[in-house]
A and B are shown apart, each in its own frame.
Chain A
Amino acid sequence: MTALARVFRWEVAKLLAQKRTYLGLGAATLVPIIFVVVLALQTGGPNDVPLGRYIRDTGLAVPFVVLFFMSIWGLPLVTALVAGDIVASESHNGTLKTILTRSRGRGEVFAGKVLATATYTLTVVFAIGLVGLVAGSIAWGFHPLTSLSGTKVAPGHGLLLLLASLAVYTLPLAGIAAFAVFLSTVTRNSAASVVGALMWALFMQLLGVLPGTESFRAYLLGTQFEAWHGFLRVPADWVPVTRALWVCTLYTGIPLIAAYLVFLRRDVAGD
């Protein structure tokens, strides 16, 4: 195993040993279950959101609708909870200096933390997708999905579309995670980083709904949470997907590079 792989493995092990991780993951996976239970007991539905009116047709529709609702603040919060803590908590507890007096360079330590954060973010998104799919299928069965273009999609193909959508959905979340890691590195304060990253996410969402922002709305971070709609059109619309790819690369890369540079040079002293 390479040195970076060992660092990464321990970063994941540290996440797995902390309550915070399960709090985020647990809260996130509870949402689709509550969602399905409530809708199964009631008659109305979220008719004005994409796929909302088909939610009782098939379990396949459930994850898409849940992701729509969670993109506003639920998933940004769950992501920031871990991403905002990953450097700050070690600064605060003094364990950062313990790690930095071993044989691994600061770059490797930082990379390990970023990879662990990415793993957590992916896990959360796919866990929500899986739980939503299973809960929805138990309630309403695993039937063909109605696409945004109104055509029917076979369940097998629908499953592939769901996986692709989850992957694309993770991109803007990575942008929020990267911003949280940046705050975590710079402020050394876990709470400030979590709240700051959530504010950033909400600010991006807010810009997207304000009048006068139409000219750059397509390039806001919040907008990228809808990129997966492209997959649910027939034929698939790749424009929002490719845009999400490069826009989110910027939203993720810039704070990460800044955080990396700060991490390499910063003084590691008691708080």
Chain B
Amino acid sequence: MNDAAPVDARGLVKRYGDIVAVDHVDLEVARGDVFGYLGPNGAGKTTSLRMLLGLIRPTAGSARLFGRDPLVDGAKALDGVAGFVEGPRFCAYLSGRRNLQLLADYDEPVSRPRIDEVLELVELRDRAKDRVGGYSHGMRQRLGIAASLLRQPQLLLLDEPTTGLDPAGIRDMRRLVRRLAGEGITILLSSHLLNEVEELCNRVAIIRKGSVIYQGALRDLLATAVSRFRLRALDPERARAALLAQPGVGDVELRDGELRFAADDRTVATLSVALGQARIAFTVLVPETASLEELFLGMTGGDSSDHDSAETIAV
């Protein structure tokens, strides 16, 4: 495999009539990344992934996987790439194993032990001879992963892999993703679940109404948020005076008996000593926003595209 980036999309646009589903999206996923593609439902995540896989043609822009464009190189562009969009789909009238054999034959024929191996990995070996029509949603998701792993991918594209799974299924799926990432597979994972991205990914892109509004390391993103703190003191007025007197503290506000202010970590450390020396007792001194959620809600304006309900930004 060459040195080109696993995913390099430039200015991707997909327009359906008057609707712009994806609006000049740039995505860059580096080798070894677990890249979270985060956005509310309907923001354009699946459409972007479809363009990456060459399933739909971009209205403008280009997508390259390891330097190859699916529009130019066809199926060759998917060498070393596997995944699914909008949930994996199989022939319901064939067994799980037959479906895998079929898909393997659409690549290069693989040995039966290799099929057993991936079935084992996703814990479907016992049900492999049953028709996929009788599989639960979670089993189909796992079969989707198995089908992808048959290709021994270096890049795995997963579209909302935990959607519709029960809590145990979600836990298993995330464990599997971590394991695959641990084996050195680059993963691009779309999700509308913030905690999922926070838990699994090292880099993120946040998409809203077809446009990427943030792209970078998850750590950097979180760091921008941890500049506000919350202080609960027994005597809020005295604490407020101490805060105002402290260099480096700004934007102090007192609300519902609690103080909120902006400061960096070092200032807060100094502040805690100062409060102690001034005998101002406090019970709470914590960073105010440590989760991706508020950042996300701030960036996406708390909306979830034009037509979706609030549950689509569930945490």
Contacts and interface: CB of A to CB of B under 8 A. Distances in A.
A269 B16 CA distance: 12
Contacts of B89: 93-95, 97-98
Contact of A269 (B50, B82, B105): B50
A216 B43 CA distance: 55
A103 interface: yes
Contacts of A105: 74-75
Given A14-B91, A17-B93, A95-B89, A101 B84 contact: yes
A17 B94 contact: yes
Given A17-B94, A104-B75, A270 B103 contact: no
B109 A6 contact: yes
B79 to A, nearest CB: 7
A81 to B, nearest CB: 16
A103 B79 contact: yes
B94 A102 contact: no
B61 interface: no
A100 B79 contact: no
B118 to A, nearest CB: 14
Interface string B168-201: 0000000000000000000000000000000000
A7 B106 contact: yes
B55 A103 contact: no
Contacts of B147: 98
A109 B137 CA distance: 27
Contacts of B94: 14, 17
Contacts of B83: 101
Contacts of B55: 97, 100-101, 267-269
A44 B55 CA distance: 59
Contacts of A27: none
A269 B151 CA distance: 22
Interface string B69-91: 00000111011001111111111
B57 interface: yes
Contact of A102 (B56, B57, B106): B106
A18 interface: yes
Nearest to B91: A95
Interface string A2-33: 00001101100110011000000000000000
B79 A98 contact: no
Contacts of B91: 14, 17, 93, 95
Contact residues on B (Cβ < 8 Å of other chain), bracket = 35 or more
B237 interface: no
A60 B57 CA distance: 55
B310 to A, nearest CB: 24
Contacts of B98: 13
Nearest to B150: A102
A99 interface: yes
A265 interface: yes
Nearest to B73: A105
A106 interface: yes
A144 to B, nearest CB: 47
A107 B129 CA distance: 31
Contacts of A18: 93
Nearest to B81: A101
Interface in B41-64: 47, 50, 53-57
Given A14-B94, A95-B91, A99-B106, A270 B86 contact: yes
A245 to B, nearest CB: 34
A101 B82 contact: yes
Contact of A98 (B54, B56, B84, B151): B84
B92 interface: yes
B84 A102 contact: no
B4 interface: no
Contacts of A103: 75-76, 78-79, 106-108, 151
Contacts of B56: 267-269
Nearest to A1: B109
B60 to A, nearest CB: 15
Nearest to A268: B55
14 contacts: A10-B105, A10-B106, A14-B91, A94-B86, A98-B84, A98-B90, A98-B103, A99-B103, A101-B78, A101-B83, A102-B103, A102-B107, A105-B75, A268-B55
Given A93-B92, A97-B85, A269-B55, 14 more contacts: A7-B105, A13-B102, A94-B87, A98-B89, A101-B82, A102-B151, A103-B78, A103-B107, A105-B74, A105-B75, A265-B57, A267-B50, A268-B56, A269-B50
